[in-house]
Amino acid sequence: MYIRYKAELKSEVISIGQLRVGGPLERAILFKTLADRIALPCALRRACSASAWCEVAIPEPEPEPVT
């Protein structure tokens, strides 16, 4: 399956959205790990033992100065 995606994309990189293994918790942990590696502010949140998601802080852009 992933070999086909790599051939179609002509890349060794597979997007997280293409993964068909693991549940929400495993995917959230994967995203959190990748975010930590690139210093992206990210918090892992859990609702129950098998449910999780990541929250990413997106700063508001500074307004353009009026001239």
Check residue 19 and give its pLDDT. 72
Evaluate whether 40 touches 33 at the Cβ level (below 8 Å). no
pLDDT at 44: 93
Query: Would you list the domain boundaries of the chain?
Result: 22-57
Burial class from Cβ neighbours inside 10 Å (0-12, 13-18, 19+) for residue 5 reads middle
pTM of the model: 0.63
Cα separations (Å) of 52 from 2, 23, 34, 35? 25, 9, 16, 15
Mean pLDDT, consecutive 10-residue stretches, the chain (67 aa), reads 74 74 85 92 87 88 85
